[in-house]
Chains A and B, each alone.
Chain A
Amino acid sequence: MLKLNRRAFLSASAATLATPALLRAQSGAIKIGTLTPLTGVGGTYGPSMRDAILGVVAQVNEAGGILGRQIEVASEDTQTSPEAAVRAARKLIDVDGVSAILGTWASSITTAVAPLAWESKTMLMCVSGADSITKLPHQGFICRTQPNSILQIQVAGDFMVAEGATQMAWIGPQTPFAASSIDILEQIAAANGAGMESLIYEADKSTYRSEVDQILRGKPDFIMLGGYAADSTVLLRDIWQAGYEGKIIGPAYAVNAGLLDTLPSAVTEGIYTWEGAPAVNSAAYANVKAILGVDEVDPYSAQTYDHASLTILAMAAGGDSSGDTVRQNVRSISQGDGQIVESAVDGLAALAGGINYSGASGPCDFNEIGDITGTQFVFKTISGGKPSEYKRV
C-alpha cells in the first residue's frame, strides 16, 4: 500500500501556494477545487476534508501525475454559508479554472453552488444529504457519496420503532431536509401505530426552553434531533434540564465529538447516533488515516478522499481534464466488473484493464441521478461521553 511521503506532500502544497494565481492558470497543470467548510458550523470537518483531497493529489503527483501533467488544488472556504460559498465557487470556476469542485458539506450550500457547477460544466461532488439535491436538473454534473436524507431517515425511523418507540417526535431547524424528514417519520409512525409530533425551530438560538416545553407536551418516548452540532448542544441540555427520561437519536454529525466534549456526560448518556459507515477495514480507509495522521477518520474526510480519487481516475480514463470528462467517466471507473482498486495511484496503474474503485466511504457506486447506493449504516450509543458501536444495518 502506498504511504504518503511527507516531503512530497509539503512540496506539492507549498508549490501550489507559492505560484501566483495567474501563472497557475496558464501553467498547464490540471486544476481541481476544494470547497469545504473551514469555518462556521461545519468548521469541525472542513480542514480535514480538504487535507484528505490534498493528500490524494500529492500521492498522484508524486507518482507522476495524470495525462503527463501535475494536478494543482485550489482550496476555498464555504464558511458554512451559502452566500460565501457561491462567491468562493465563482472564484474557483472563473479565476482558478477548476474542472471539479469537491467536498461541499451542508445541503443548503450544495444547493446554492450546484447551478454554477452545471452551467460551467464543472463536476460537483458533495457530502450533502438533502434528497432534493440530486433531483436538480444537473445533467450528471453532481454526484454524492453521502446517502440521501430519505434513506438516512428511513433507516433511523425503522431503528426507533425497533427499539420500542410508541410516541415519536422530530425536532430540528429549518433545513432542506426538515420537511421530508418529518414526512418520512410520520409514515413510519403511522405504519407502526405510533404517534408522531414535530417542531421546526430557528437555528442559532442560545436557548430552546420554550420549544422543548412545546415538544414535550406530546409526551414523546423517542425524540429524533434534526439539527447540527451547535443547536443540538443547546437543545440536548434543555431537554435534559426539562427532566425528559425517554430515548433520543441524533445524526452523528450533530452528536459529534465536540458536542460530547461540551456537554456533561449525564446529558448525553444513552443517546443513539447513526451515520453512513465508512469502510473501516478497507485499504482506502487506512490510506486516509495515514494521510491525515489520525486513528479514526470522520465520514466526510473519507468521502472527500473518494471524491479526489474518483475525479482523478475519471480524468485519466477519459484522457482529458475537463469537468465533462469526469461526468462521463465517473461511473465507468467506480462500478462494474473491473479490478477493485482503493487508491487513485493503484487505479491509475490498473486503468488499462478496467477498474472498479472502492473507497474509504464505501463501494462508491452511483445511480443514474448521482445518489450513492449500497451504503452501510452504523448506530452507536453514547456511554460516559463516548460513542460505542451498537448495531450495523
Chain B
Amino acid sequence: MDLIPQLLVNGIISGALLAIPAIGFTAIFAVLRFPNFSVASLATIGAFAGYAANVGLGLPAVPALVAAFMVAGLVGLASDEIALRPLRPYGALTAAIASIALTIVLENMVRFGFGNDLRGYDLPLVRDWRIMGVRVGPQQVQNLALALVIMAGVFAALKFSRIGKAMRAVADNPTLAELKGIDPVRVGRLTVFVAMGLVGAGGMLLGLGTSIDPLTGFRFILPIFAAAVVGGLGSIPGAALGAMVVGIGEELSLLVLSPAYKSAVGFIAIVLVLAFRPRGLLGERAY
C-alpha cells in the first residue's frame, strides 16, 4: 500500500490535465445541448498546432499553448459552422452523430498534413524529482500549473465577464436569454471557439509529456466523456471534479485491477453515476 501516495499524485496530475478538454466538452453541451464528439480530433489538432509552433517556429511551451488554443478554437468554430450548426435543428442525436463523422474527417486531415508518424515536442527532458518517496516530474508540475491557471481563467471569465454571464444565461434558459437581447447564435459561436480552444490546449498539455500522432485525441475521448458525465453534463465545475474522479480512479484502480483494464474505470464511473445519480455529481447547472 506504499504505492498509494504515488498513485494519488499521478492521478491528480492526470485529472487536472483531463479537466481542460472536459470543461470544453461540457461547455458546448451546456450552451448547445448536444455532446460534441469532434473534441477528439480537435484535441489532436491543438496538439499538432502546439507542435508546429514549438518545433517549427521554436516557440517555448506557453506561447505554443496559446497557438494550440487559437488554432483548435478557429478550426472548431469553422467546422461547427459548416458541419454541425445546420444539423442542430434536427435534434441532439443528429448533431452528435454528425460530430462523430466530423471527428473522423478532421483526424484524417491531420493525417494528410502530418502523416502517421509519432512526433515529440522539443522540450528539455529531465529526470524526476523524488520528494518523500513520491516521484514527480518537473514537466508534470509545469503542466499542472498551466492547467490550474487555465481553469482559473475560465472560472473567472464565466463569473465576472459580460460574455461569460451571457453564456451562463443561454445555458440556463435560452428563451429567456434571447428575450433579454442575448443573441444565442453569437453566444453559441463564442462558446464553440473557447471550448474547442480549451480542448486544443488540453490536447497539447496531455501530449507534452508523451508523443503525439493523429489518434492522440481519440485516446482521450472516453475519459473526457466520463469526466463530463460523472460531474454532470453541462456543469463546468462538475467537469473539473469529474476529471479528478476519473484521473485518480484510473490510477488507484491499479491496486485492485490489472493495468490492462485501466479504461474500464471510465466506463464503471459512467455506469455508477447513471445508475445512482443520473444528473451527475454536481447536477447540470452550468456554473
Contact = CB atoms under 8 A, between A and B. Distances in A.
Interface of A: 39-40, 43-44, 173-174, 199-202, 204-207, 209-211, 213-214, 217, 229-230, 233-234, 237, 240-243, 258-259, 261-264, 266-267
Given A39-B116, A206-B206, A237-B125, A242 B263 contact: no
B261 interface: yes
Interface residues of B, number: 39
A201 B260 contact: yes
B137 A241 contact: yes
Contacts of B36: none
Contacts of B263: 202
A233 B135 contact: no
B219 interface: yes
Interface string B101-138: 00000001001000111111000011110100001010
B80 interface: no
Contacts of B261: 202
Contact of A263 (B120, B130, B213, B215): B120
B6 interface: yes
Interface string B213-236: 111100110000000000000000
Contact of B127 (A40, A243, A262): A243
A44 B127 contact: no
A213 B135 contact: yes
Given A200-B258, A211-B259, A214-B3, A258 B125 contact: no
A229 B116 CA distance: 11
B6 A213 contact: yes
A53 B108 CA distance: 25
A258 B213 CA distance: 11
Contacts of A229: 118
Tell me whether chain A's interface is mostly helix, strand or loop, or mixed.
helix
Contact of B251 (A39, A200, A210, A266): A210
10 nearest A-B residue pairs (beta carbon)? A43-B116, A262-B120, A201-B259, A234-B210, A233-B211, A258-B117, A204-B219, A262-B211, A200-B260, A202-B262
A217 B168 CA distance: 49
B40 interface: no
B207 interface: yes
Given A39-B111, A202-B261, A243-B128, A233 B118 contact: yes
B283 interface: no
Contacts of A174: 260
B262 A201 contact: yes
Contacts of A43: 111, 115-117
B26 interface: no
Nearest to B119: A262
Contacts of A233: 118, 120, 210-211
A206 B220 contact: yes
Interface in B123-167: 125-128, 130, 135, 137
